[in-house]
Amino acid sequence: MLKQYLLTPGPTPVPERVMLAMARPIVHHRMPAFTAIFNEAAEGLKWIFQTKQPVLQLAGSGTLAMEAAIVNTMKRGDKALCVVGGKFGERWRNICKAYGIETVNLDVEWGHAVDPQAVKAALDADDKITAVFSQANESSTGVRHPVEEIAKLTATRERVINVVDAVSALGAFDLPMDKAGFDVLITGSQKALMLPPGQAYIALSDKAWARTESSDLPKFYADLKREKKAQSGGETAYTPAVTLTIGLVESLRMLKEEGLENVFARHDQLARATRAAVEALGCKLYAPTAPSPTVTSVWGPTGLDTGKIVKQLRDKYGVSITGGQDAVKGKIFRVAHLGYFGVFDILTSVTALEMALTDLGVQIQRGVGTAAAEAILAAGPPQK
């Protein structure tokens, strides 16, 4: 028997407590029993989004929330500024294109964060831009973008909203929607919220909700005005993901018990430990200047296809990580540390990596990565 360890940036491990909650008998989604569950989930989402706005629950992946953000706030003739520094920045651009929205693409070198001054310059140069689309965390590259600085830029421009993809970020590091001034914030179930895939969540500021009145792009299932009306009454416009909603209640209870600041501190510690470990092994970080708190991206050893590392870890040790995509396919590997991750998940990933590298003929000193991680993990995260 080969025990499996899921150390990918999504889906992420689901706590036993959440799985047990989801194993309870199904309830009907138009009955009072589900209304109580739904309302608790709705309040919990407002807590983790750090907003007074309603956070709408959608049955679909994070891409559904991305599409909903576009079709509900944009109209024909609008122009969007898309920060494109990885696969998910490309997705913003591609969804806009699918709906006929002209895009200005702010291309950012992969492995680097966008410069807010470049965003400002693009907005100053084109007064037809009505929205900025970006990632809080570009998980394909392991980069954390300065979305708070972008929000400051759009706050002074009445015509422009900022839309933030926080699918691989929300619940792992601090993204206070109201305080930061995000106009649209989205996330998904299978990342830091510790659930299986299948739910997406989206919240809009007053400024963004006002845009829904003039939006003329086609929409039906992703009609947020219809969902807002239905969800204010404790149900969804269409059949919800009942079991995932039950699990969401339990996962949010767990996060509340830990405390939001402690959750953020835990993710920060795990990220620092992972980065220290791979550097101790002689590897270089792919995103050294703007490293993600949720996934560490690493250049592979010279001359070694990193797909072989991913395969060796999976097939021999039962440890699942991810490789690079597109231009960095075979060149980098990515180790996650978001959601239901703790000290020994990091030690497992680092020790397994040492073993896999040795198997593949890479000359390393065994144990140095583990020791570097232990030095950070032994101290424990700061308690708030």
Looking at residue 327, its pLDDT comes to 87
Tally of domains in the chain: 2
- Domain membership of residue 9 (yes or no) is no
Same domain, 33 and 122: yes
Residue 38 falls inside a structural domain: yes
Cβ partners under 8 Å of residue 94, min gap 6 = none
The reply to whether 220 and 292 lie within a common domain is no
What is the CATH classification number for the domain harbouring 236? 3.40.640.10
Residue type (1 letter), 279: E
The confidence score (pLDDT) of residue 371 equals 97
Residues 267 and 290 in one domain: yes
Which of 146, 92, 148, 139 has its CA nearest to residue 111? 139
Do the domain assignments include residue 191? yes
**In sequence order, which ranges of the chain are alpha helices (DSSP H)?**
16-22, 32-49, 62-73, 87-98, 116-125, 147-155, 177-180, 206-211, 224-231, 242-258, 260-280, 306-317, 343-359, 368-377
Are residues 170 and 29 part of one domain? yes
55 part of a folded domain: yes
Residue 103 within any structural domain of the chain = yes
Which of 257, 285, 301 is at the close of a domain? 257
Last residue of a domain, one of 239, 257, 275: 257
The answer to whether residues 46 and 167 belong to one domain is yes
Q: Are residues 294 and 359 in the same domain?
A: yes
* Same-domain check for residues 69 and 201: yes
341 plus 230 within the same structural domain:
no
Do 127 and 272 lie in a common domain? no
Tell me, what's the pLDDT at 212? 98
Range of the domain at 339: 259-377
Q: Are residues 250 and 265 in the same domain?
A: no
Which helix (H) or strand (E) element contains residue 134?
strand 129-135
| Domain end marker among 226, 257, 288 | 257
Structural domain includes residue 108: yes
Q: Is residue 2 part of a domain?
A: no
Residue 5 lies in a domain: no
Query: What is the C-alpha to C-alpha distance for residues 276 and 79, in angstroms, rounded to an integer?
Result: 42
Tens-digit pLDDT profile for the chain (384 aa)?
A: 899 999 999 999 999 999 999 999 999 998 999 999 999 999 999 999 999 999 999 999 999 999 999 999 999 999 999 999 999 999 999 999 999 999 999 999 999 999 999 999 999 999 999 999 999 999 999 999 999 999 999 999 999 999 999 999 999 999 999 999 999 999 999 999 999 999 999 999 999 999 999 999 999 999 999 999 999 999 999 999 999 999 999 999 999 999 999 999 999 999 999 999 999 999 999 999 999 999 999 999 999 999 999 999 999 999 999 999 988 999 999 999 999 999 999 999 999 999 999 999 999 999 999 999 999 999 876 655
User: Is residue 252 domain-shared with residue 263, that is, in the same domain?
Assistant: no
CATH number of the structural domain spanning residue 318: 3.90.1150.10
Quick one: 169 and 281 in the same domain? no
